[in-house]
Structure 1
Amino acid sequence: MSTSSRDRILAATQANKPAETLLPTVPDFGGEATPERFTAVLTSIGGTVVWLDGLAQLGPTLQQIFPDARNTASPLFPAAIPVDALTPNDILADIDLAVLTCEIGVAENGAIWLPEANMLHRALPTITQHLVLVLDHRRIVATMHQAYAQLPSMGGYGKFVAGPSKTADIEQSLVIGAHGARSLVVLLY
């Protein structure tokens, strides 16, 4: 029986397969997993951190920070605009305040992990004018390595958000809200 070209190629590939290499152990780079460190870093990149004594303060705090917000979207309170994964983008474009829960805060860079299950719609955290993320302060980790170690248990799609959207690509002129929300407020409780 003759051997096909395909079989010869597969056999040669199998014969020349390199030995399996184990992944290196990533050291714990340490750092501070404190709300103070997280707050300092997030503030330095344009975000705002506000402490809540409890989630019962959510409504009054939002009213104080965003008194003019009319088109709101959130799973945490009765919002003005109901949003789900099928909400059209033209409706999302009218939302001026989205309030969502997040899962992990990273002290070293002020990033916050927002899984798709908490977004209501994939585009909402990017298309809203102002984004508020609610985070349990006990979910702050020191480094991205520690955050990434938790991601497999968080489901599929998600994104790290760090500060409001900004760019200075054009004539080195800073533009806030160019590619996403104009402001980011993290409510820690």
Structure 2
Amino acid sequence: MAQEDLIAAFTRQAGVMGAQILPVEGRRELGKALAEALKPCGRRAALFASPLVRETNLEEALTAAGFTVEKDGPDFAREADVGIVEFDYGIAETGTLAMDATALKARLAAMLPLTCVALLRTKRIRANLTEVIEAYLERGSWPGYFTLVTGPSRTADIERSLTIGVHGPERLLIVLVGDEGGDDRGR
């Protein structure tokens, strides 16, 4: 399947599962687009450092837009309105995100705030879970803490009353960052 088809399938499935999708042409546009999209969500952001966060100077862009950016501290992400984390892969078949969440801060930023912002490079979208597992194995050892996220947190009681956000974020914003050259299918 062509990468464009994988992106379209992922976008469709993630939307069905309740995620909001924000496509961004490339890394240069990420800071401005994200700052604009997050205005209604609050001004405190827990930011987990990752290659994409560093490449885009995301902390500086958010700070310039008036956000308080938290990267450390004993209460990291506990009072944040949004948590921003780069995910490793997307699964087109189900609209699921995959992440090596071995780092505690990655888990905290993804799970504690009411809004989880998942940064995902479009070239990292795979057709199915099998391809994602193969990609992790090609990278080396299996993650110590592997996370799959499909839509906002949801749970239902015995009477089938669905509730959003009880065990995690009530909103999931997936920012699809377009390719700017180079292929890193093995990473």
TM-score normalized with structure 2 length: 0.73
The answer to whether the 8 A contact 2:114-2:169 is kept is yes
**Structure 1 residue matching 2:136: 3-state secondary structure:** helix
Structure 1 unmatched runs, 5+? 1-29
Of 133, 142, 167, 1:179 maps to 167
Of 29, 46, 61, 1:73 maps to 46
After TM superposition, list the pairs within 5 Å mapping 1:27-176 onto structure 2.
Answer: 34-68=6-40, 69-74=42-47, 75=49, 76=53, 77-78=58-59, 80-84=68-72, 87-88=73-74, 90-116=75-101, 120-152=105-137, 153=139, 155-169=143-157, 171-176=159-164
- Compute the displacement of 1:170 (Å): 5.2
- Compute the displacement of 1:122 (Å): 2.7
Give per-residue Cα distances to partners, 1:75-102, cap 9 Å, x unaligned.
3222624334xx43x5522111111111
CA RMSD of aligned residues (A): 2.5
Supply the AA of the counterpart residue of 2:173. V
**Inter-CA distance 42–64: structure 2 relative to 1 (3 Å threshold):** same
- Compute the displacement of 1:112 (Å): 0.8
Supply the AA of the counterpart residue of 1:127. L
- Compute the displacement of 1:118 (Å): 7.0
**Inter-CA distance 135–91: structure 2 relative to 1 (3 Å threshold):** closer
The answer to whether the 8 A contact 1:164-1:184 is kept is yes
**Inter-CA distance 171–141: structure 2 relative to 1 (3 Å threshold):** same
In the alignment, the residues of structure 2 paired with residue 66 and residue 60 of structure 1 have an alpha-carbon distance, to the nearest angstrom, of 10
In the alignment, the residues of structure 1 paired with residue 7 and residue 119 of structure 2 have an alpha-carbon distance, to the nearest angstrom, of 13
- Compute the displacement of 1:34 (Å): 0.8
Give per-residue Cα distances to partners, 1:101-134, cap 9 Å, x unaligned.
1111001111111222677343221111111111
The answer to whether the 8 A contact 2:84-2:109 is kept is no
- Compute the displacement of 1:31 (Å): 11
Tell me the number of residue pairs that the alignment of Structure 1 and Structure 2 aligns. 157
The answer to whether the 8 A contact 1:31-1:143 is kept is no
Structure 2 unmatched runs, 5+? 179-187
**Structure 2 residue matching 1:122: 3-state secondary structure:** helix
